[in-house]
Amino acid sequence: MNDLDLNIINKTKFQYDEKEIQKVIVSFFQFMKLPKMYVELIFVGEQRIHTLNKQYRGVDKATDVLSFPIQFAGIREQGAGNSSNPKSKDQSPKLRNFDYKQTNSTESYNLQPTTYNLALGSIIICPNIAKKRGESIIELVVHSLIHLIGYDHEKERDNDQFVQISEKFWARI
């Protein structure tokens, strides 16, 4: 699929369908009218996601999914591909990978470089927790994609927008 630069890293024994994951991400990009982008999807165990959740969100427990957007002029606020510097000639944000080594882990993710300038971010999923909660990996991917484009569900107003995007997307496919 040439509408997506997807890097999947599996640090678990979880078996996944890469074509199904690609299909839903490409469908989401088309639904949201997003350009071709780089997305990183990482499957980790419970201890690893617990460590990341504690370090980056201050929540001392394991979770099902974490979203780490690439830090650039926000797609939601600025529009995809717009620079936060209006004088800049290069209107595309530069890829800056999330630094997993900051977690003091001995794990090495061997991230692959991308040829695209535009990167959405990283999705980290714990398949074991998703299974315990009866959650679909594909639904968690879409949930995380909505976070990566700048939406949240912490406040009621934000939650309404988040749910609306999710419901409209799932109704479409």
Q: What is the pLDDT of residue 3?
A: 60
Q: What is the pLDDT of residue 80?
A: 33
Q: Per-residue pLDDT tens for 93-111?
A: 333 334 433 333 334 444 4
Cα 5 from Cα 116, distance rounded (Å): 8
β-sheet bridge partners, residue 6:
39
Cα 125 from Cα 83, distance rounded (Å): 30
Q: What is the pLDDT of residue 71?
A: 60
* Helices and strands (DSSP H and E) totals, the chain: 6, 4
Cα 51 from Cα 74, distance rounded (Å): 27
Count the domains in the chain.
Answer: 1
* Cα distance from N-terminal residue to C-terminal residue, the chain: 17
In the chain, the amino acid numbered 45 is G
| pLDDT-flagged residues of the chain (< 50) | 1-2, 72-116
The structure tokens 């974490």 sit at 66
Q: Specify the CATH number for the domain of residue 84.
A: 3.40.390.30
β-sheet bridge partners, residue 65:
125
What is the distance of C-alpha 102 from the center of its chain?
19
Owning domain of residue 50:
4-172
